[in-house]
Amino acid sequence: MKIQFGFNGGRKYKLIWRSLIILMVFCLALLGLHLAFNLVIKLPRNAKSPVDGVLVLGGSISREIYAAKLAQQNPKIPILITRGSPDPCIVWVFQRAKSPMNNVWLEICSRSTFTNFMFGVPILENWQVQKVKLITSGTHIARAKWLAKILLGSHGIWVDLIVAPEKGVPGNHESWAKTGVDLTRSVIWAFLSQIIKPHCSEVYRLSGVDLEAWEDRNFACERQGGLKQNSRGASHRYSALKATRPRVGHGVQAFEVTSKDSHFVRP
């Protein structure tokens, strides 16, 4: 009786494991098909579409200066700045350029280039972006390019890369080890992100930044931005402060876009 119970129990567990393996293979096959559709069908199709989104990787105020020029030329395009300079610095950059801010969004959940994309891709997908301008710096271009091709391309979003002009010595140091780690986890995330969509609760319009709330906070804008923090927050007086994150690269080009409405509101 005990032997028979053990035998039946063994068959039962084998059946459960076999079912789980079959289910896992089936799910992986579905993910693979979805990924293949994005890469083979959507990506080439979206390459022919007009640019309808801008993604700014945080790390240098020069990228936000460039984004302000694009916003001035193309006010209907949605711009997402991922973990950029302190909010007032970005506001002052756009004010100085007389660029509209209502279609510019800040995302402050990310902590690295990889998480810039991890949190940024779901937002771009929600905006139904098909082709995005990616703004980065010269020394950052290799890693940003590969991560963008993997993480945006796996969702069918075509990428046009822009190198923002920058002054000074870059503060970030790229390495093959860092690039290798990011590429490895990007390939894995390209599969997982087909079903996992990280949500950032800290996404809000640039036009909604409360400058008065920043008056007593300790922050500084990069020297190359030519901006100055003062007690009144929204002042238009600009002068250099000691750089906090000097970074590094070029060119501005105009492009046509179709605007996408966003459901994000300031938390």
Q: pLDDT tens for residues 151-200?
A: 999 999 999 999 998 876 555 667 788 889 999 999 999 999 999 999 99
The answer to the question of residue 246 being in a domain is: no
Q: Range with the lowest mean pLDDT among 43-52, 186-195, 226-235, 239-248?
A: 239-248
In sequence order, what are the residues at sequence separation of 6 or more whose Cβ sits closer than 8 angstroms to the Cβ of residue 170?
A: 137, 138, 139, 246, 247, 248
| Domain assignment present for 30 | no
Domain count of the fold of the chain: 1
The SS3 call for residue 30 is: helix
CATH of residue 153's domain is 3.40.50.620
Structure tokens at 202: 């800290």
Which tens digits make up the pLDDT trace of 212-222?
Answer: 999 888 888 98
Confidence at residue 34, expressed as pLDDT on a 0 to 100 scale: 86
DSSP states of 83-126 = S-S-HHHHHHHHHHTT---TTEEEE----SHHHHHHHHHHHHHH
Assigned domain for 43 exists? no
The answer to whether residue 105 scores a pLDDT higher than 70 is yes
Is 263 part of any domain?
no
The pLDDT value recorded for residue 50 is 96
Q: What is the mean pLDDT of residues 221-248?
A: 50
The residue ranking higher by pLDDT, 255 or 53, is 53
Pick the closest to residue 166 from 249, 237, 262 (CA basis).
Answer: 249
Per-residue pLDDT for 113 more than 60? yes
Residue range of the domain that includes 106: 49-225
| Pairwise CA distance, residues 247 & 222, whole Å | 9
Tell me, yes or no, whether 101 lies in a domain.
Answer: yes
Q: Rounded CA gap, 168 and 184, in Å?
A: 31
